[in-house]
Structure 1
Amino acid sequence: MPARTLYQKLVDAHTVARLDDQNVLLYADLHLMNEYTSPQAFAGLHEQGRPVYAPEQNVAVVSHIIPTHPVRPRVIADPASALQASNLKRNCHRHGIPLFDTNDVLQGIEHVVAPEHGMIRPGMVVICGDSHTTTYGALGALGFGIGTSDVEHVLATQTLVYRPAENMRICVDGLLPLGTTAKDLILMIISRIGAQGARGYVVEFCGSAIDALSVEARFTLCNMTVEAGARGALIAPDKRAVDYVLSRAPDIAGDVRRKAEEHWATLASDADAIFDCEYRYDADKVAPYVTWGTSPDQAMPIDGAVPIVDDSTDDVARASMQQALRYAGLRGGASLQGMPVQHVFIGSCTNGRIEDLRAVAQVVRGKRVADGVRAMVVPGSGAVRDQAEQEGIADVLIRAGFEWRQPGCSMCLAMNDDVLASGQRCASTTNRNFEGRQGRGAITHLMSPAMAAAAAITGVITDVRTLSTQEAV
């Protein structure tokens, strides 16, 4: 058999049939749903009188439209949002699909909930009507987002008509410096290759810097790879990933565990596998990164300068940069350090895990949120929230002046009542900084949790490395 990449092995293992020269019928081990991409799919299913083919291989979560106010029970006041949530509950009940509902103590964002409960295992194909399903590549699972019509097809057949992607490898060697995280690494990579740089590819990450990352940091890396246009992201599962899964999947035991570990050990690209495109980076040279514009690839090291638009830039890029600078109220050549912020948001499927909250607490312990800044922390799940309270992290954040919220997507996309006012500038740990993403006319600067924490206590965009040793991470 010819040498294969990890991606090719996963596709081959899940191909039910080859449909034509470009498409296969792909089997999905797990299908995740949320309240905003599933209603039309269920409606189509019911119009055809079809059942859900494999209810036990589907899981639903209420996450995007849910309010995160620190009160229980949670009530969705917006009628349209409440209808979405009630429709999901009714559809799940009708078809026997497990649901993390509005007031489930373990409710959260699907991309946080699924791995923390052992649902994601190496070698799986996992799909969801959400683009950040690439997150699961951190565990050696092929995850990707699908559209509503595809959701209906998966519900009916547990399969998907799929066009295989090309293979890209990104190797990162060395170690990330103190104060620099996986969020900074992926922002750097996206800024280098561009928002369409990985379009049509599934990206495999490798190298000593990737090996050194925690599993939660790998989630961040794979989560944001879609912002470079990637159709998926993968990291070959190592002992760290396997231990993470086994500690959360008590059903994998005895002979099943032995066979699983034997199989997972084969989930790596062959030594002589051919990649269609390759990049290599040195982690030692990565600084904390912050976005300056309205696309995740419009990012810069915190000690750099906002790019200057000049005639050497092509027409499309120049127009995009000019519009981004106008929207953000910036000028070329300026520094972002010292830029006042009115809001700090820490959370999302990118950076709403316990490791992220520990980093924030380490920076703000014994400090106070700056006057004039509203700072929110929204855990990625009920389990993360409970753990943060047990570890004393929540107390540190509350004493520092942060709002300690209930789990949900919250201000990542302003599809709920957590919305920025026009003109407000936000230091955010989310994954997208598009115009109006967090509120009409609001300005978003993407950064790591530690960098967002530094902005909260200083009131301005700040290089976390300049804080005292006690505060630095």
Structure 2
Amino acid sequence: MSSPHPQTLYQKLVDSHTVRRLDADNILLFCDLHLMNEYTSPQAFAGLHDEKRRVAVPGQNVAVVSHIIPTHPTSIRVIQDAASALQASNLARNCSRHQIPLYDTNDAMQGIEHVVAPEHGMIRPGMVVICGDSHTTTYGALGALGFGIGTSEVEHVLATQTLVYRPAKDMRIRVNGVLPKGTTSKDLVLMMIGQIGAQGARGYVVEFCGETVSQLSVEARFTLCNMAVEAGARGALIAPDATSLQYVLEKCPDIVGATRDAALAAWNELYSDADARFDQEHTFDASNLEPYVTWGTSPDQVVPISGTVPLPGSVSAEQRRSAEQAIQYTALKPGANIAGTPIDHVFIGSCTNARIEDLRAAAEVVAGRHVADGVRAMVVPGSGAVKKQAEVEGLDVIFKTAGFEWRKPGCSMCLAMNDDVLMDGIRCASTTNRNFEGRQGRGAITHLMSPAMAAAAAVTGAITDVRTMELNHV
């Protein structure tokens, strides 16, 4: 990956995967891994079959059924919705036809694609990983370039293992300071999205760096990169370091001996050169960070827990209409404290916050307490492996004793594509990544927050500053 000119990490990854330049704006990009799900692949396979083509490299494609599956705690999962069941059966049939590995509905290690892939060693530094899902940016936590693609592009990748790609611009976000107790990478990324806006990184691949980022666990970095897309980013990256390399080697027992030495030598070159130029840069200080909670219908409509629902007149003219619409939809009172807002439902899950560290953080708040009267609370692990580990640690018992539902893994209530749908007017404290109108159900109201904050809301019945609560070690 040597170059006579200083390069960013993003430029190094793109250059190392460029098959050829197509024109002034586009290249043909080789993709190391293509992940598929049940809702963006059917048309792609149909187009492939219409042209009588085969999948070029079946072993570099992996499929996961995750968005549409029920998460009820039954022994065998059955997709009752006919259209969803057809999507799942079509995916299974297509994967069988082309010898593509599939984590199907009742696979023991099944789960959310962006949780399953890294925990099984599929994601390694320096890779290009694509998927028909926007939150593929998650993999930047391991120094891999991940991004979402559309259905027509899925077909192209299946046929060629390449993608016609227009390179993005470079943005660097540096975060300094130590995260205060009671705050997490979820709070950090919500704060940053609130600062730069939902379109603030549009057209860019963001590289996160700084002492705050280097102190984060890999699972916390997944959260950070996962939600970069909510600022419009086309990708997110964190340069590999000792923390992420240890994670990868633990998940990849096949990397040993000379292969390990060669891999580490290559991975240690994955960083932005000292004089590399970024098209835009931002710097944030995390030392005074508070827990953050969304008040509106976009992830950038967010305030610290000490904050208030904005007065429409206090926001810029271009944001005023959307603020007024959001306040009307969420039925909040302008100027009211966000803390103390009553909630009806709590959802802990999603590709953003359903890993084992997330469940441990929530369980620490829940232990010795009970879900508040009138509140329904549920925990949906991100994968079969996460669920198994949580049960080994007894976290499931803590949640169930407190009155939480302990569910099977899947996307679940992150989006209304399965059985887990909220009714009109239900207010939910959620660890997901999007709070759009109708995202969790038509008329449902979503407040994004960290797992610990969601757990605090569950046991108090309202949006609560988790820092005010005494925690019990589990």
How far is 1:251 from its partner? 1.2
Does 2:179 align with 1:176?
Answer: yes
Equivalent of 2:8, from 5, 8, 26? 5
Of 403, 407, 410 in structure 1, the residue corresponding to residue 409 of structure 2 is 407
Aligned to 2:113: 110
Structure 2 partner of 1:303 = 306
Question: How big is the shift at 1:380?
Answer: 0.3
Q: How far has the Cα of 1:135 moved from its partner?
A: 0.1
- 5+ residue gaps, structure 2, are none
Query: 1:92 aligns to what SS in structure 2?
Result: helix
For the residues of structure 1 that align with 2:314 and 2:307, how far apart are their CA atoms? Answer: 21
SS in 2 for 1:419: coil
TM-score norm. by structure 1 comes to 0.99
Q: Which residue of 1 aligns with 2:420?
A: 418
Match of 1:373 in 2: 375
Partner of 1:35: 38
Deviates further, 301-310 or 447-456: 301-310
Q: Secondary structure at the match of 1:42?
A: helix
* Partner of residue 343, structure 2: 341
Q: Which AA in structure 1 matches 2:201?
A: A
Partner of 2:251, secondary structure, is coil
Alpha-carbon distance in structure 1 between the residues aligned to 2:259 and 2:365? 43
Letter in 1 for 2:383: S
| d(CA) in 1 for partners of 2:64, 2:471 | 40
Task: Give the structure 2 partner of residue 356 of structure 1.
Answer: 358
Structure 2 counterpart SS, 1:372: coil
- Quick one: which of 248, 251, 255 aligns to 1:248? 251
Aligned to 1:448: 450
2:384 alignment partner in structure 1: 382
| Structure 1 counterpart of 2:59 | 56
Aligned to 1:14: 17
Tell me the equivalent position of 1:259.
262
Partner of 1:26: helix, strand, or coil? strand
For 1:124 and 1:51, how far apart are their aligned partners in 2?
23
Partner Cα distance (1:318, 1:332) in 2? 12
Give CA-to-partner distance per residue, 1:350-377, whole Å, 9 cap, x none.
0010000000110000110001000000
Q: Out of 464, 468, 471, which is 2:470 matched to?
A: 468
* Contact 2:365–2:471 (8 Å) recurs in 1: no
Superposition deviation, residue 331 in structure 1: 2.3
Counterpart residue number, 1:211: 214
Cα separation, partners in 2 of 1:469 and 1:415, compared to 1, 3 Å: closer
1:99 maps to amino acid: L
Q: Which amino acid aligns with 1:257?
A: R
Query: Which residue of structure 1 aligns with residue 100 of structure 2?
Result: 97
- TM-score scaled by length of structure 2: 0.98
* CA apart distance, 1:311: 7.2
Counterpart in 2 of 1:85?
Answer: 88
- What SS class does the counterpart of residue 347 from structure 2 fall into? strand
Match of 2:294 in 1: 291
- Report the CA distance between 1:337 and its aligned residue: 1.0
AA aligned opposite 2:187: D
SS at match of 2:129: strand
Structure 2: which amino acid aligns with 1:43?
Answer: A
Which amino acid counterpart does residue 374 of structure 1 have in structure 2? R
CA distance in 2, matches of 1:334, 1:238: 43
**Displacement of 1:221 after TM fit?**
0.2
Equivalents in 2 of 1:148, 1:191: separation in Å? 30
How far apart are the structure 2 equivalents of 1:313 and 1:149?
38
Cα RMSD after superposing both structures: 0.9
Equivalence for 1:319: 321
Shift in CA distance, 56/364, structure 1 to aligned 2, threshold 3 Å: same
Residue 434 of structure 2: which of 419, 432, 436 is its match?
A: 432
Q: What is the CA distance between 1:396 and its match in structure 2?
A: 0.6
Deviation readout 1:8-60 (Å, 9 max, x if unpaired): 00000000000001000000000000000000000000000000000000000
CA offsets 1:305-361 (integer angstroms, 9 cap, x no match): 1111117622x3111000000000112211111111110000000001000000011
Q: Give the distance between the partners of 1:279 and 1:86, measured in 2 at CA.
A: 46
Cα deviation for residue 281 of structure 1 reads: 0.6
* Aligned equivalents of 1:277, 1:71: Cα separation in 2: 50
CA distance in 2, matches of 1:325, 1:332: 7
1:285-314: per-residue Cα shift (whole Å, max 9, x none)? 211000000000000000011111117622
Hey, what's the Cα distance between the residues in 2 that align with 1:305 and 1:336?
5
Q: In structure 1, how many angstroms separate the alpha carbons of the residues matched to 2:397 and 2:472? A: 18
Structure 1: distance between partners of 2:391 and 2:79 = 24
Letter of the structure 2 residue corresponding to residue 289 of structure 1: Y
Do 2:32 and 2:128's aligned partners in 1 also have CA atoms closer than 8 Å? yes
**Paired residue type of 2:134:** S
Corresponding residue number in structure 1 for 2:77: 74
Partner residue of 1:186 out of 174, 186, 189:
189
The CA deviation string for residues 89-108 of structure 1, in whole angstroms up to 9 with x for no partner, is: 00000000000000000000
The answer to whether the Cα contact below 8 Å between 2:222 and 2:352 also exists between their aligned partners in 1 is yes
Alpha-carbon separation, structure 1, partners of 2:332 and 2:461 = 18
Kindly, what percent of the aligned residue pairs are identical? 72
Aligned partner of 1:328: which letter?
A: T
Aligned partner of 2:43: which letter? Q
Task: Tell me, in whole angstroms, the C-alpha distance in 2 between the residues paired with 1:101 and 1:470.
Answer: 37
Q: Which residue number corresponds to residue 270 of structure 1?
A: 273
Partners of 2:218 and 2:251 lie apart in 1 by 13
- Distance in 2 (alpha carbons) for counterparts of 1:14 and 1:311: 47
CA contact (8 A) 2:42 2:91 kept: yes
| 8 Å contact from structure 2 (residues 368, 472) kept in 1 | no
Q: What is the CA–CA distance in structure 2 between the aligned matches of 1:164 and 1:203, rounded to whole Å?
A: 13
Shift of 1:470: 3.5
Who is 1:151 aligned against?
154
SS in 1 for 2:269: coil
Q: Deviating runs (4+, > 2 A) in structure 1?
A: none
SS at match of 1:25: strand
